[in-house]
Structure 1
Amino acid sequence: MYIWERTEWPDFRWDDGSIASKEKQFLLDLGWLLGRMDGLGFSLKENANLRILTQEVVKSSEIEGERFNPLSVRSSLGRRLGMDIAGLPPSNRSIDGVVDVILDATGNHADPLTKERLCAWHGALFPTGRSGLVAIQTGAWRRAAVHYEAPPARRLDHEMDRFLAWFNSDQLGPGPVKAALAHLWFVTIHPFEDGNGRIARAIMELVHARFERSSLRFFSLSHQIEQERNDYYAALKATQSGTLDVSAWLDWYFSCAIRAIASSKEILGGVLARGKFWDTWATEDLNERQITMLNK
């Protein structure tokens, strides 16, 4: 029996004690990372955000088998963020669509999540109305049956109304537990014909941005999930049947998030090194051209 077929659905439960140590470790690691980034100047933080968002867009798409040129993604992000980045290859409608979704999720994280917003995201992910060669319905809940055993289409309005009411409520508050549950709940409902995973990960990023009260992103969960794709799908699959105890899913999610922060130290290594450099040489009299070159 699938969890959405149970009479107690969607009353998720978990053992707080089993995830307490990992939740604490995640919050400690996040605090360290945000503290390091907070000490950098605006230009360096902007550059770090660009690097992480590039990873988020590229890797979230890669998880679903769609590969984008990272330089084209960087070009699209830079243009939308108002950053002066020359010499990069142009983007395309597909890249721009994914970029628009992630920037709306993180940049407007305080806004309510609504059916209209989700449908706009879905339309942006599939600007041609096709997934590969197959025409799909975009910007609306699915009507056709799907291969994944999801709730029937006739239940989608009710299921999504309930999900959105929970998401926009103060229940749990913004935080990693809510991000993990929102991701699981959304992919279980599977409201669209395609793109559910990418939208679920955008929702996840929205919650984390809301929790941090910042649109600047300094670690990429999708980058880490792509590295652990088999385990990610296995963890989701294991949770889809059985009881509504999601302790194992939360445990995996926190472990992945901890590793994502560790990975960000490598991704942002150059940015952090430049921050350390400026701490050391802040009193040196450098001209504007030298400063620009060092910050690249």
Structure 2
Amino acid sequence: MPFIHERAGWPALEWDLPTLAERLADVRHRQGRLFGRMEGIGFPLRSETLLQTLTADVITSSEIEGEILDRAQVRSSIARRLGIDEGGLQPVDRNVEGMVEMMLDATQRFAEPLAEERLCGWHAVLFPTGFSGMRRIRVGGWRPEDSGPMQVVSGPIGRERVHFVAPAPSRVPSEMGSFLDWFESGAAPRDPVLRAGLAHLRFVTIHPFEDGNGRIARAITDLALARSDGSSQRYYSMSAQVCRERKGYYEILESTQRGTPDVTPWLDWFLRCLGRAIEGAEATLASVLDVSRFWDEHPRETLNERQRIVIQRLLGPWTGKLTTSKWAKLAKCSQDTALRDISELIARGILRREASGGRSTSYALVGRAASPSPERDDP
């Protein structure tokens, strides 16, 4: 069975708008309701929600590709670039800076045209050394002729699953020229949400670069969704939702690639996933409001710098147990100093000792449940 890009008429795609109309209307309603709610809260809370959303976007987009980025570095990089006041900014690795730079360019400059030079610039910041792992790749340019067939796979090394084979390198320049013309012209659907779903599918199908195509596809999706919202303020993360639903994502992607030009099932999945992403933004907002209430009850001015840094981490997406050694690492102090800081907060009713015991005493914020201890622990 031929892949979709091998069928006559490609890249012309078809979809049944009446089938999608109700779901599309629901997504547009959710977008409007979310932005309306965000307008009703103060600027500091909107900034924190934006910071959390963009941090999740960057981290999960990389996680889908098997790369785990340091959350604190990602948050620091975004805060610095957006001018958001954030205590305890950290040094940031090149791979984090590159991913943040691409995602912010896509979302903060969403109205600017998507062109070959811009996409190649994104690719260049993703691979500043010219290597993908141990392999040298062409950076800032389409796949070279000698790169061979490009298989789109998922799964761990040794157990990869091939979902489809992308067009030959010789086709990439013309395919990308057609894609970019379509994306910025009236040939694409007028509704920018449908355009986002189709753009993601078309770009992933072409797979124009030797590596980084998934991350760039999600940046293009975010750019298109920012256009649909008419705002650079990102309060929901499509990448985070795709990461949660990656099995379903790869299944619908594979069936679409092996199917007909009718991509209604793909767009239906995309709209459902997007709806759940917007719904998930409510959880982010609830978390931000919860943090705001905490700082109202415990003003930052009454804490020393070390205490502020660690408590800020505990109020975020923290996993694992807080011990004196972990406090010392986060606050860059001795364990004796860490213990004094912790003891003071226990006396003030801000921290409590965990009941679990064990070899090392651990602590948690009062009024918050203990976090599980996963294989990959914080910090």
TM over 0.5: yes
Contact 2:107-2:222 at 8 Å conserved across structures: yes
Q: How many angstroms does 1:25 deviate by?
A: 1.3
For the residue of structure 2 that corresponds to 1:109, the secondary structure is: coil
1:206-242: CA deviation from partner (whole Å, max 9, x where unpaired) = 0111111111100000101000011111111111122
Larger radius of gyration: 2
For structure 1, which segment, 257-266 or 191-200, has the greater mean C-alpha deviation from structure 2 after superposition? 257-266
Distance 2:34 2:55 in 1: 18
Distance 2:191 2:121 in 1: 23
Q: How many angstroms does 1:173 deviate by?
A: 2.9
- Is 1:120 equivalent to 2:124 in the alignment? no
1:22–1:272: structure 2 CA closer, same or farther, 3 Å change rule? farther
For the residue of structure 1 that corresponds to 2:151, the secondary structure is: coil
Distance 1:75 1:235 in 2: 35
Q: TM-score if structure 2 supplies the norm length?
A: 0.71
- Is 1:180 equivalent to 2:201 in the alignment? no
Q: How many angstroms does 1:28 deviate by?
A: 1.5
Distance 2:272 2:288 in 1: 25
For the residue of structure 2 that corresponds to 1:268, the secondary structure is: helix
Q: How many angstroms does 1:90 deviate by?
A: 2.2
Distance 1:141 1:93 in 2: 22
- Is 1:237 equivalent to 2:264 in the alignment? no
1:97-132: CA deviation from partner (whole Å, max 9, x where unpaired) = 000000000011010000000000001111111111
Match of 2:97 in 1: 96
Contact 2:114-2:184 at 8 Å conserved across structures: yes
Contact 2:166-2:205 at 8 Å conserved across structures: yes
Q: How many angstroms does 1:89 deviate by?
A: 3.4
Q: How many angstroms does 1:271 deviate by?
A: 2.7
- Is 1:160 equivalent to 2:176 in the alignment? yes
Match of 2:66 in 1: 65
Contact 1:4-1:188 at 8 Å conserved across structures: yes
RMSD across aligned positions (CA): 2.2
Match of 1:86 in 2: 87
1:147-188: CA deviation from partner (whole Å, max 9, x where unpaired) = 341111111111111000000113323521000000000000
Q: How many angstroms does 1:288 deviate by?
A: 11
Distance 1:15 1:125 in 2: 37
Q: How many angstroms does 1:276 deviate by?
A: 9.5
Contact 2:31-2:229 at 8 Å conserved across structures: no
Structure 1 segments of 4+ aligned residues over 2 angstroms from their partners? 270-277, 287-290
Task: Give the counterpart letter for 2:205 in structure 1.
Answer: T
For structure 1, which segment, 7-16 or 169-178, has the greater mean C-alpha deviation from structure 2 after superposition? 169-178
Q: TM-score if structure 1 supplies the norm length?
A: 0.91
Task: Give the counterpart letter for 2:184 in structure 1.
Answer: N
For structure 1, which segment, 32-41 or 189-198, has the greater mean C-alpha deviation from structure 2 after superposition? 32-41
Q: How many residues in Structure 1 have an aligned counterpart in Structure 2?
A: 285
Match of 1:18 in 2: 19
Contact 1:174-1:210 at 8 Å conserved across structures: no
Distance 1:172 1:272 in 2: 37
- Which consecutive unaligned segments of at least 5 residues does structure 2 have? 153-164, 303-307, 316-379
Q: How many angstroms does 1:4 deviate by?
A: 0.8
Distance 2:151 2:23 in 1: 34
Q: How many angstroms does 1:273 deviate by?
A: 5.3
For the residue of structure 2 that corresponds to 1:205, the secondary structure is: helix
Identity %: 46
Contact 1:22-1:251 at 8 Å conserved across structures: yes
- Is 1:139 equivalent to 2:140 in the alignment? yes
Task: Give the counterpart letter for 1:252 in structure 2.
Answer: W
Task: Give the counterpart letter for 1:162 in structure 2.
Answer: S
Q: How many angstroms does 1:44 deviate by?
A: 1.6
Contact 1:72-1:91 at 8 Å conserved across structures: yes
Q: How many angstroms does 1:56 deviate by?
A: 0.1
Q: How many angstroms does 1:84 deviate by?
A: 2.1
1:260-283: CA deviation from partner (whole Å, max 9, x where unpaired) = 111111122133457899xxx9xx
Task: Give the counterpart letter for 2:92 in structure 1.
Answer: S
Distance 1:214 1:32 in 2: 14
Q: How many angstroms does 1:48 deviate by?
A: 0.9
Match of 2:216 in 1: 199
Match of 1:47 in 2: 48
Distance 1:203 1:131 in 2: 21
Higher helix share: 1
1:275–1:89: structure 2 CA closer, same or farther, 3 Å change rule? closer
Match of 2:29 in 1: 28
